[in-house]
């Protein structure tokens, strides 16, 4: 498994899709990178050509605050509580990615998924769809991908899935995690790891949105892993938001 500096870099730098391939080549020399770029998504595979691949996906695709709000409004729909228990917006994106690259992903013996924000939930659903026996994931600041039924299936199928959450991040709001509410019945999947807070913004409600940014994650990891400070600084300098 990668060190934390590489995990953060793989997950967060894909916001800069124009330069992401070069970032990957610097972090993971000698790897083949297949990118899928559309108007709304940035997704791809980093292939070591030895039966293993890393799967990345960009988070919310809006490049401005307003576009991000529009993106969330369109993609984070409440679960319709059907048999699969998945949130419809995330499932729609995962299905689109599977349609385009599912065959390529099924060709690998092991897969490692990484992403930030909205991408985390899409990738969790995608990972189940692909069905690779050796699957792991390290995702940052994820929303919930589905309800308790989905979480039970996911955790039993993919035990090596870790999600990192920032203290005070609004995406951790309990409003989306209410198993007694048929419309807001989200349940987290994987193993939770809390990142240490940086500064005081997490204590002030109006500033908590900052806790969700890749830059905040990097600064938090510098506190947690000072031995990797130089490499994390390299990632921080390339984060775009």
β-bridge mates for residue 53, sequence order: 47, 111
Q: How confident is the model at residue 87 (pLDDT cuts 50, 70, 90)?
A: confident
Cα separation of 141 and 226, whole Å? 21
Domain 4-236 belongs to what topology? Rossmann fold (3.40.50)
Strands, E, within the chain: which ranges?
32-37, 42-47, 52-57, 110-116, 134-140, 161-166, 191-195
Distant-in-sequence, close-in-space partners of 41: CB < 8 Å, separation ≥ 6? 57, 58, 61, 93, 96, 97
Q: How confident is the model at residue 170 (pLDDT cuts 50, 70, 90)?
A: confident
Domain coordinates in residue numbering, the chain: 4-236
Task: Return the residue matching tokens 């589905």.
Answer: 146
pTM: 0.91
Residue pair 95/103 in contact by the 8 Å Cβ criterion: no
DSSP 3-state assignment of 73? Answer: helix
Task: Quote the pLDDT of residue 232.
Answer: 95
Rounded average pLDDT over 126-142: 96
pLDDT in tens, 178-195: 766 666 678 899 999 998
Distances 37 to 24, 101, 226 between C-alpha atoms, Å: 16, 12, 35
Residue pair 154/124 in contact by the 8 Å Cβ criterion: yes
pLDDT in tens, 140-155: 999 888 888 899 999 9
Residue 62 has pLDDT above 70, yes or no: no
Cα separation of 15 and 137, whole Å? 18
Angle, alpha carbons 79-144-2 (nearest 5°): 145
Greatest CA separation for the chain: 49
Task: Quote the pLDDT of residue 83.
Answer: 65
Cα separation of 170 and 144, whole Å? 12
């Amino acid at each position: 498994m990668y060190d934390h500096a590489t995990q953060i870099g793989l997950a967060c730098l894909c916001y800069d899709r124009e330069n992401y391939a070069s970032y990957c080549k610097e972090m993971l020399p000698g790897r083949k990178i297949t990118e899928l770029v559309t108007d709304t998504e940035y997704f791809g595979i980093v292939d070591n050509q030895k039966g293993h691949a890393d799967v990345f996906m960009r988070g919310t695709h809006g490049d401005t605050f307003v576009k991000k709000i529009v993106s969330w409004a369109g993609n984070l729909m409440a679960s319709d509580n059907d048999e699969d228990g998945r949130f419809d917006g995330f499932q729609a994106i995962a299905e689109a990615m599977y349609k385009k690259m599912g065959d390529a992903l099924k060709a690998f013996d092991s897969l490692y998924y990484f992403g930030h924000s909205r991408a985390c939930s899409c990738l969790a659903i995608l990972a189940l769809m692909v069905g690779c026996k050796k699957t792991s994931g390290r995702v940052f600041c994820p929303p919930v991908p589905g309800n308790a039924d989905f979480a039970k299936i996911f955790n039993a199928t993919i035990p090596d899935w870790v999600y990192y959450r920032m203290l005070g991040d609004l995406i951790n709001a309990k409003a989306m995690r209410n198993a007694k509410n048929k419309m807001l019945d989200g349940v987290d999947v994987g193993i939770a790891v809390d990142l240490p807070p940086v500064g005081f913004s997490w204590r002030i409600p109006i500033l908590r949105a900052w806790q969700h940014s890749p830059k905040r994650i990097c600064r938090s990891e510098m506190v947690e892993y000072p031995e990797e400070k130089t490499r994390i600084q390299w990632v921080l300098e390339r984060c775009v938001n």
